[in-house]
Amino acid sequence: MNRLLLALPMVALAGAALAQERPIQITIAPGKSGEMCIPLNTGDTLAWHFKASPAADFNLHQHVGEQVLAPVQRPAATEDRAEHTADRRNDWCLMWTAPAGQRVTVAGTWSVRKAGTR
């Protein structure tokens, strides 16, 4: 599995945190998964937009102890645009799984809006 843990620099303008878009660019081998994990604090909102070719199973998940909690699941997604507000401080992971026999390319963007900002 490809896994990236991304540290987010704080970007401030007049005391307010800005949501800066970051790129998603992943190629996933047939039958394998690729994920990007982003540290979020409680109340932070993760936004994403991606296109996958061909379609791939997508989810947003976090690991809590031995459990994997996936509040967002999109089977056979070719595109998605959504956001999710973290209910706990944790690493939250955007994950795509390629179908057996097909390499998948995922391209898009993600951003984090810090809790208490618009």
Q: Which two tokens stand for residue 48?
A: 């994403």
The CATH class, in words, for 2-113 is mainly beta
Reported pTM: 0.83
Q: How confident is the model at residue 2 (pLDDT cuts 50, 70, 90)?
A: low
- Is the model's pLDDT at 14 over the cut of 70? no
Residue whose structure tokens are 């909102």: 45
Residue ranges per structural domain of the chain = 2-113
- Is the model's pLDDT at 18 over the cut of 80? no
Residues 43 and 92: their CA atoms lie apart, in Å, by 13
6 vs 76, more confident: 76
* Segment 2-25 mean pLDDT: 57
The three-point CA angle 54-58-59 to 5° equals 175
- Is the model's pLDDT at 13 over the cut of 60? no
Omega of the bond prior to 71 within 30 degrees of 0, cis? no
